[in-house]
Amino acid sequence: MIARRRLVFVRLLAALSLMGPWWGAPADAEDRKPNIIIILADDLGHADVGFNGCGDIKTPALDAIAIGGARCTQAYACHPVGGPSRAGILTGVYPQKFGFEYNPKFDRSNARYGLPSDQKTLADLLKSGGYGTAAFGKWHLGAAPELQPGRRGFDAFYGFLGATHHFFKFDGPPDDELTSPLEGNVEPVKAGPLLGKLTQATTRFIRQNAQRPFFIYLAYNVPRRPFQPRKEDKEAMAHIADGARRDYAAMIRGMDWSVGQVLDKLRELGLERDTLIFFTGDNGAPGNPSSSGASNAPLSGGKGELREGGIRVPFAARWPAKIPAGVTYQYPVSCLDIFATAVAAAGVALPQGAHLDGVDLLPHLSGKRSDPPHEVLYWRVGGGKGYAVRAGGYKLLRPAGAKAAMIFDVQSDPGEAAELFDDQRLKALHAVYEEWASHLANPTWEP
């Protein structure tokens, strides 16, 4: 299938160079296996972190990840909403290939809604390689027992199974997605708001597993609504006049505080050099800044859309032992690359016959390779109601419900303001999309 796709791509877009192997060689045997941490924000605006130029929201901890490693300026989620995007991060595979194309319903009795049991997760593979594994925070990959973190490779879990949760209330019935008790298989954190509970659970796991390699998936429901910031964060953002922006900014400040606590714990235990950290968002922020308080500038559109504001996300990676500090990486990368990079860094073999859609970014971020990681990136929503292709600097875009596809040069026009009228390139990109889409599954459920 890969050879066929490459042949089609070369014939149609000969001006673009071919990429190298899908993922790099495993780490040297004599190297210590790195700890691996994925930090995931929820509905975060592309422009709302310091390392992407934000001026009114300070994010020193997140900036420390980018400054101490690599900041990727053209990073993409694999879907414009969070459930499918998270499925892609934890499998390294386009979620459309296994029917995960809408956010799953919160249903504890139905295993249809979520990440299919036959999909191996990053936790599954790292656990087989000797890692201690933990998930903290938002799951959103299925609430049925067989889909919960403990059955998907995670030794430890503390958080909530749905799409969102109240930050201060945890005494609702189990089927109340917003206020149900936090759950998991570790000692609960009894006092404090949600952000503090997740922070304490994470730093406790790091301390308890400091003598062996560990993998942590820390998925915040921040800065997604409801905006319920800690008092100290809201007071610190009092200088922002707009109310929605002020509450949104306070949520980001709280997340940055939490990340700072995690970084401090790594430093305290002497684990900083040998820990690979990824930070990114699950999708863009909602596109109406007057109500969301967010900014995707200079991108157009927002969450749920295939315009750049819906799929381009902040992205930073740090591993002091392997990634030089201060890298600004400008080729497109994908959230799918996290899986391939982590597996390669850990020296864990893929199951026989497995194929990843992401690539190992370490040779690219370290400067060992100068070619782009990807020839092409793909998106599909609604079973084909909308789709997009990014190839080189060009993007084919058919928004859901649109009558026709458009083409943009998003390398020089990230705001997608000037449609290009290039029928030959449009037809070529459309053929590339159709070849990819022919291998996809139908959505398993409707929204």
What is the residue extent of each domain of the chain?
1-18+375-447, 23-369
For 177, counting Cβ atoms within 10 Å of its Cβ (0-12 exposed, 13-18 middle, 19+ buried), the class is middle
Contact criterion met (CB below 8 Å) for 126 and 153: yes
DSSP β-bridge partners for residue 318: 277
Q: Which two tokens stand for residue 295?
A: 């900014």
Asked whether the predicted pLDDT for residue 23 surpasses 60, the reply is no
Contact criterion met (CB below 8 Å) for 157 and 150: yes
Q: What is the pLDDT of residues 232-287, one digit of tens each?
A: 999 999 999 999 999 999 999 999 999 999 999 999 999 999 999 999 999 999 98
**Mean per-residue pLDDT, 204-212:** 98
Q: Which two tokens stand for residue 25?
A: 């060689």
- Confidence category of residue 205, pLDDT binned at 50, 70, 90: very high
Asked whether the predicted pLDDT for residue 8 surpasses 70, the reply is no
Q: What is the pLDDT of residues 154-201, one digit of tens each?
A: 999 999 999 999 999 999 999 999 999 999 999 988 889 999 999 999
Cα distances from 118 to residues 4, 47, 181, 352, in angstroms, run 26, 37, 28, 14
Asked whether the predicted pLDDT for residue 10 surpasses 60, the reply is no
Q: Which CATH class is domain 1-18+375-447?
A: alpha beta
Strand order in the sheet with 376-381: 376-381, 386-391, 394-398, 406-409
Q: Are strands 75-76 and 376-381 parallel, antiparallel or unpaired?
A: unpaired
Q: Which CATH class is domain 23-369?
A: alpha beta
Residues 302 and 143: their CA atoms lie apart, in Å, by: 27
* pLDDT for the residue numbered 31: 62
Nearest to 51 by CA among 314, 331, 257: 314
User: Which has more pLDDT, 19 or 171?
Assistant: 171
User: Which has more pLDDT, 440 or 27?
Assistant: 440
* pLDDT for the residue numbered 188: 86
Asked whether the predicted pLDDT for residue 28 surpasses 50, the reply is no
Asked whether the predicted pLDDT for residue 122 surpasses 60, the reply is yes
Asked whether the predicted pLDDT for residue 2 surpasses 70, the reply is no
**Mean per-residue pLDDT, 208-231:** 97
Asked whether the predicted pLDDT for residue 6 surpasses 60, the reply is no
Average per-residue pLDDT in the chain? 93
- Confidence category of residue 289, pLDDT binned at 50, 70, 90: confident
Termini Cα distance of the chain: 30
**Mean per-residue pLDDT, 136-164:** 98
Cα distances from 305 to residues 111, 359, 399, 402, in angstroms, run 27, 25, 7, 12
* pLDDT for the residue numbered 291: 85
* pLDDT for the residue numbered 447: 87
Q: Which two tokens stand for residue 316?
A: 């930073």
**Mean per-residue pLDDT, 32-45:** 97
Q: Whose structure tokens read 């080729």? A: 331
Q: Which two tokens stand for residue 16?
A: 């673009």
- Confidence category of residue 32, pLDDT binned at 50, 70, 90: confident
Residues 259 and 416: their CA atoms lie apart, in Å, by: 33
Cα distances from 380 to residues 210, 343, 345, 347, 377, in angstroms, run 41, 26, 30, 32, 11
- Confidence category of residue 290, pLDDT binned at 50, 70, 90: confident
* pLDDT for the residue numbered 280: 98
